[in-house]
Amino acid sequence: MIKHRLAIAATAAAFALTPAVPAAAQNHHPSVASASANSVHYLQNYLSGRCVDVNGYSADNYAVVLNWDCNGGTNQRWEFRPTGDGTHFYLVVAHSGKCLTVNAADGGTGQRVVQFQCVGADTQMWRPVYQGNDTYQLIEKRSGKCFSLDTRGGLGNGAGYLSWPCEGGPNQLWKLLNV
């Protein structure tokens, strides 16, 4: 009986000494801070499980950006560089130093996403928005559209990416994998 009372007293003392966790902290989820300044990530599409890859390690402007098996290549490593507005980032690929860019020449919904020399254009600025389950939407500043896997080309290696109205589908969700 004495041991039982001592155990209860010890448990009560432990709870009394444990700082309370605010409700906001209990419900905390990653925010844009997870895509912090100068952090480097592989961008893995939630639907396909594949990564954003600059085709053939090309250093050319307008080089195609494809869905490809995550392989650790420098053509799949994207640095989140701050734009200076506090919410958007340039996504700069390691192998070429160029930016993930909506190809404005394509016009309207369905614009292809390519790599292009970083020139500070709104079509190169992306805002990561947390969606739950460790996933983000990447929203382009100029159009407000989402970086999306073009599922018309399937989910395998070689499928392209485009800018599309944000609908919350799994082809518009991204995991930011640590390098």
pLDDT of residue 41: 94
CATH top class, domain 2-178 = mainly beta
Tokens, residue 129: 């928005």
What average pLDDT does the segment 80-103 reach? 97
Task: Report the range of poorest mean pLDDT among 3-17, 43-57, 129-143.
Answer: 3-17
pLDDT of residue 28: 35
Confidence of residue 34 (pLDDT cuts 50, 70, 90): low
Answer yes or no: is pLDDT of 55 > 60: yes
Give the whole-angstrom CA distance, residue 175 versus residue 137.
9
- Please, are residues 118 and 99 in contact by the beta-carbon 8 Å criterion? yes
- Please, are residues 57 and 97 in contact by the beta-carbon 8 Å criterion? no
> 161: which strand partners?
149
Distances (CA, A) of 72 to 44, 100, 174, 178: 12, 18, 17, 10
What average pLDDT does the segment 109-121 reach? 95
